[in-house]
Structure formats: structure tokens, C-alpha cells
Amino acid sequence: RRSRQGLSAHSLMRICHLLSMEIPSPGLERAISPAQLIACKHAIASTPEHEHTVLLFGPQRLEDYAADLGIHTTDRIACPSNDPTLAQTALSRYLQHRPLFDTLTCWSERTLTLWQQAAWMNLDAIGVMLGEATDARGLDGTPIVTLNRLDTESWRARGADIHLATCPRDSIPPSDAERQRWRKSIGATEGEIVLGAFSDFSPNCNALWVSAIQTVLEYAGTPNIALVPADVSGWTRAKRIHRNMSLQSPLVRVDGPMLKTLSMCDLAITDAGERKSWRGAEAMLIEQLHASGVPVIGGPHLPELVEMPDLARENCLGISTVPTIMAGRISAVGPSRMLCRRLRTSLVERPTLDTPGLADTLSSIWAHAPARRRPMVASS
């Protein structure tokens, strides 16, 4: 634990961060958005004056993934079906052997629901929610931080005390030399566009959609390489399409966190502009990519997720995410090195918004945690 030396009793807070996997949409397995981990890492790194504990609910692979993104896990609780709401007993045992935390910071809706169900837990809780509300009920003034103004409506309807924060922009743009070395390492030639496909939860990023875009690009004479997450859905069918149509454009799965790879790509593509359930997570990833100087091409709703410079609005938005429309946008931007460089500069140098940042917003809420502590009740 961090020493208390040099920190006043007033400034020092013990923060316990709860992380778990969510079900992105019906029919999909539980997964965690990299945006949740990136946001949590940012909050911890930006507030070193506090003591931070990171508690994960889920399997070992969740802990490994968090470590890949730079999050040191204090403890992990395995739970049935990887659902933290089924881990009340394990959480009770965990807390019995810990100094009392000042507040819990829940980074998923299910961990917030766990806190609601555990009435014996005399702790304040804060939710950082990167999507709209689904299961939460009766929040009764519980502080909820969102990263997108449209998400605030569903949480306010559940009785939350809403705080809108600006997405962190922590990424550092790679140098031209670094990009060139990376391109060489993957075998990209001078004329090939390297595309990185992403989504809020990687299982939602369908390889069939990406391969359809590649097909249009190849027949239009635009050479490309497309990179997708290792656990992308539709992979087998997409590769069959590649083989049957004799496509020369490589479709490659990437191991490890996709964000590190995306920051090196010429362009990032997403179907986020057509979905609404995980706006905050999409906004986080897009802001990280923009801070890295990577243009994100998507549908018409992207400006609802992040502020975009005029140059990006003109060149990166399609009227839909239909593959033919997306391919047209890519063909208009990708081959022009000058336009890509201008886009990169405009994205990196975009003025900072006036909305408070995530870390400042959390620090303000944490400071009032003792006054909000809910009363102790007997455990059932």
C-alpha cells in the first residue's frame, strides 16, 4: 500500500474499483470493453494521492487482459456465470479482511447492482457507466458518471445523480518513423492502406462486415490490409469468402489488446455510428484513437459520440455503415497521404472541451463519500 506520509487525512481516500464483464447484447457472451479498463487506469494514474484497490469479478483471462492494458489487479473473485451479482458471499469474506474502504467505484452495471443487493455493505458507491442503463433500478441519487450526454438520459430516468465527464485523451501519437517500422513488420507495402476494425466489445466487431468492405475496396483497385481482434465473430465465414473470391487483401487477427495496434493503423473503421447501447465505451476508444492521430471512419452518428474537427466530419462520416458506403469513404481518404497527415494533425490538436475530465469528476465525488455513507444493516 502507498505510504500515508505527506498526505493529509482529509485528502487520502481508500478507493475500491470493481470491474466485471457485461453482456454486450442478447445472444453474446460476457465480455469487458477495453474502454472500461482504459478509463479505470486513467482514473487511478491521475489521482495518486488516494489509495486504490482493483477488484475483478470473473475468470483469469479477465485479469490477464487487464494486465495487458496496464492495470495492476489487487484481487480477483471468481463467480458463477462470471456474474458479480452472484458473488455476495465472496465479497463479504473479502471485505472482512480489508481496512474499510471510503467508497466503491463500480465500472460496470452488474457491480453496481451487486452493491445495491448487498444492503449490509455500509459503503458509498459511484458508478462509471459507459453505456445506457439496462437492469439498474431505484438508484435514489447514487452518483453516476457518464462519458456521453445521450447516456445520461437513461441513467437519470433510473434516479441517478448524473455527472457528465470528458473522455480521457491519454494516447501519445506514434512518430512517422515508428509507424513506418510497424508497417514494415506486418509486411505492408507503400501503397496498401492498413485498416483496424474495432467495436466497444470486440465480439461485436463482425469479420464478415470487414471482409465485405475489403471486397469492395479490392475491386475498386484500393489495396488494403484489415486487422481485427483475435476473438472477432464471423471469422470462419469471412475467411471462406476471401478464399472463394480469391481476394488478395489480407484479413488478419491480432492477439492482445486491439487498441495498441489501432494506434499504428492508417485508418480505423467502426460500425459504432449505427448503434446506441454503448456510446460511452465507443466514445472512449474513438477519443484514444484521435489522440493517437488515427482517423476513425464510421456512420453519421459518430459526432454524437465525440467532438470532431470539421476536416474529420467532411472526410470520415458516411451516410451509413453499409460496406459499399464505408469503402467509398476509405477510398477517398486512405490513398491520400497528405489528407491523412492533415487529419492526424487536426485530431491530435483538437481543442480541449470545457466539460470536466473523468479524473476531476471522480475526485470531486469521492471527496463527499463519507457524507453519503449508507447506514449499516444486518446481513441476511
Q: Is the pLDDT of residue 202 over 70?
A: no
3-state DSSP call for residue 252? strand
Q: Are strands 75-77 and 103-106 parallel, antiparallel or unpaired?
A: unpaired
Q: Is the pLDDT of residue 144 over 60?
A: yes
E strand residue ranges, the chain: 14-20, 51-57, 75-77, 103-106, 124-129, 143-146, 161-164, 193-197, 224-229, 251-254, 267-269, 296-297
> In Å, how far are 24, 177, 333 from 281, measured between CA atoms?
11, 30, 25
Confidence of residue 374 (pLDDT cuts 50, 70, 90): low
- Dump pLDDT digits (tens) for 51-109: 999 999 999 999 999 999 999 999 999 999 999 999 999 998 898 888 888 999 999 99
- Dump pLDDT digits (tens) for 295-350: 999 999 899 899 999 999 999 999 999 999 999 999 999 999 999 999 999 999 98
pTM of the model: 0.89
Higher pLDDT: 32 or 358? It is 358
3-state DSSP call for residue 109? helix
Average model confidence (pLDDT) across the chain: 88
Output the pLDDT for position 232: 85
| Secondary structure element (H or E) that encloses residue 152, with its range | helix 149-157
Q: Is the pLDDT of residue 212 over 70?
A: yes
Q: Is the pLDDT of residue 370 over 70?
A: no
Strand order across the 224-229 sheet: 251-254, 224-229, 193-197, 267-269, 296-297
AA letter at 280: G
E strand residue ranges, 231-351: 251-254, 267-269, 296-297
Output the pLDDT for position 267: 96
> In Å, how far are 28, 167, 222, 265, 305 from 195, measured between CA atoms?
25, 24, 12, 6, 21
Confidence of residue 11 (pLDDT cuts 50, 70, 90): low
Output the pLDDT for position 32: 86
